[in-house]
A = this chain, B = another copy of it.
Amino acid sequence: MNAMFVSSPAAIPPLRYSQRTERRSRWLTELTELITFPTISAQPQHRKDIRACANWLARHLAEIGLHHVQVLAGMNGGHPSVYADWLQAPGKPTLLLYGHYDVQPVDPLREWRSPPFKATIVGNNLFARGASDDKGQFFIHLKAVESYLRTTGSLPLNIKVWLEGEEEINSPNLSTFLNREASRLQANAVLVSDTEMLGAGKPSIIYGLRGNLSCELEVRGPNHDLHSGRYGGAVLNPLQALSEMVAGLHDRQNRVAIPGFYRHVRNLQPSDRQEIRCCNKRDKQILTDLDLPAGWGEGGYSLFERMTIRPALTINGLASGYVGAGGKSVIPSRGMARFSFRLVPDQNPQEIAQLLRQHITATTHPAVRSRLAITGGSDPVLLPRNSPVMQAAQRAVTQTWGVSPSFTRSGGSIPFVAQLHRRLQVPIVLLGFGLPDDDIHAPNEKMSLTNFFRGIETVIRFLSEYGT
């Protein structure tokens, strides 16, 4: 690796800067501070924390030497984002660095082994909500930029940084925001580190993301809660009706049962499937990792394919009735389910929402009433793999990790990527440093410190490769 590194002389000082122990120690202290803000964008009580975190980030971006630092007000009363740039490299390309500083809720709290907003280092991992998704990952970008500016006083290309505060709620105001800010964010390429590698020492570049569509279904029955002894057997229980509707969203082949749902799903060439299969986890490994007795899903596809190139429907939450201590003999007057789709090319969230509405109307039992709300959506995206910026990323990864990155697809969704891809038609590199066992969105989320520091080296090399 050193031999390869020497071939990129401009990068030497920032790389050395990033490798000093006392510096790495300071960076972990800074990341710990960033993690302290409970920036749960879904929960209104954290508005102030989100605002405070945005201000902290703005200060930090100025401290590392970026210009035009601004906290940009959220659209429609939403959460703010943070912008900064460094545009002193005329004639060089402009790279937009994207990240999001909001995080997922921490429930169930009792399953955390350390407080979610107190970064806790155990062995080679840093545990905290946001450690991997995405505070720890976009911080990699900032530390790469810092390493350049503090050593050479400049960057090998122009940089814009945009840190979002609503990614974990599906970026509901992104479209309006881009209407206002498209020119500010205009760039020749975008770097996003909000994905994961295939495993320790197995870097990957993601070229496909699933879209999504999130929904809330309410079923209402009698006009008030009833005593289940008195009325049981004569009243359709809203919870039972809800369970039946939820169960009816899949057919016996484990496929989504909504008529027309698969109409526009693009079938992959055998060669593409072969590529996906060879470099990704086998079914058995996935089941072992999750301690699952058996797999599940659409026939004819591996588990990894079901997770990435095939669409899916997931129930995210069910609630109603009395589930507190002891029991309660009640027929609740209503029940609620939250669920979300993951969509693949060429499914369209609006069209799927329409099909879902028809399906819910058709399957609502006449003895209850239902109400469906669409709470968010984003397009699936496939990114071209042959742009110069993609090649620069490949070289940077190979130099740093000693292996070339796998090109693969992710089952997740990053609404910003889908929208930016559609709106600005700019190449986007999804180069993530998370690991499959980072438990993002779950208790005990963590980030590998190896990946954190090696990520910084990778991004330093990437800036060099793309800028020169």
**Which residue in chain B gives the minimum CB-CB distance to A310?**
B233
- Given A327-B340, A329-B340, A366-B293, decide whether A234 and B316 contact each other with a Cβ distance below 8 A: no
Instruction: Find out whether the CB atom of B41 lies under 8 angstroms from the CB atom of A330.
Output: no
Chain A 149-184 residues near chain B, CB threshold 8 A:
168-170
Chain A 75-105 residues near chain B, CB threshold 8 A:
104-105
Instruction: Find out whether the CB atom of A317 lies under 8 angstroms from the CB atom of B312.
Output: no
Q: Is A231 an interface residue (CB 8 A)?
A: yes
Instruction: Find out whether the CB atom of A239 lies under 8 angstroms from the CB atom of B322.
Output: no
Instruction: Find out whether the CB atom of A327 lies under 8 angstroms from the CB atom of B214.
Output: yes
Min C-beta distance of A307 to chain B, whole Å? 5
Instruction: Find out whether the CB atom of A229 lies under 8 angstroms from the CB atom of B212.
Output: yes
CB 8 Å contact bits of A217-231 with B (1 = contact, 0 = none)? 000011111111111
Min C-beta distance of A149 to chain B, whole Å? 34
Q: Is A67 an interface residue (CB 8 A)?
A: no
Chain A 189-231 residues near chain B, CB threshold 8 A:
210, 212, 214, 221-231
A interface bracket (residues with beta carbon within 8 Å of B): 35 or more
**Which residue in chain B gives the minimum CB-CB distance to A283?**
B234
Q: Is A43 an interface residue (CB 8 A)?
A: yes
CB 8 Å contact bits of A408-427 with B (1 = contact, 0 = none)? 00111100000000000000
Min C-beta distance of A291 to chain B, whole Å? 4
Min C-beta distance of A209 to chain B, whole Å? 8
Instruction: Find out whether the CB atom of B321 lies under 8 angstroms from the CB atom of A317.
Output: yes
Instruction: Find out whether the CB atom of B338 lies under 8 angstroms from the CB atom of A327.
Output: yes
Instruction: Find out whether the CB atom of B316 lies under 8 angstroms from the CB atom of A319.
Output: no
CB 8 Å contact bits of A302-338 with B (1 = contact, 0 = none)? 0110110011111111111111111111111001111
Chain A 25-71 residues near chain B, CB threshold 8 A:
41-44
Instruction: Find out whether the CB atom of A326 lies under 8 angstroms from the CB atom of B169.
Output: yes
**Which residue in chain B gives the minimum CB-CB distance to A239?**
B315
Instruction: Find out whether the CB atom of B228 lies under 8 angstroms from the CB atom of A340.
Output: yes
Instruction: Find out whether the CB atom of B228 lies under 8 angstroms from the CB atom of A342.
Output: yes
Question: Which of B41, B227, B367 meets A440, CB within 8 Å?
Answer: B227
Q: Is A347 an interface residue (CB 8 A)?
A: no
Q: Is A237 an interface residue (CB 8 A)?
A: yes
Whole-angstrom CA separation of A170 from B329 in the bound complex: 10
- Given A231-B411, A316-B228, A441-B225, decide whether A107 and B336 contact each other with a Cβ distance below 8 A: no
Instruction: Find out whether the CB atom of B318 lies under 8 angstroms from the CB atom of A323.
Output: yes
**Which residue in chain B gives the minimum CB-CB distance to A436?**
B230
Instruction: Find out whether the CB atom of B224 lies under 8 angstroms from the CB atom of A443.
Output: yes
Instruction: Find out whether the CB atom of B442 lies under 8 angstroms from the CB atom of A227.
Output: yes
Which 8 A-B pairs give the minimum distances between C-beta atoms? A42-B326, A233-B312, A317-B321, A229-B412, A236-B296, A232-B312, A223-B291, A243-B246
Q: 7 A-B residue contacts at CB 8 Å?
A: A43-B324, A105-B322, A105-B328, A224-B442, A232-B313, A233-B297, A243-B246
Given pairs A107-B324, A231-B290, 17 additional interface contacts (CB within 8 A): A41-B326, A43-B326, A107-B328, A111-B224, A229-B342, A229-B410, A229-B413, A232-B312, A239-B315, A243-B243, A293-B366, A294-B366, A294-B367, A314-B331, A318-B323, A319-B319, A321-B338
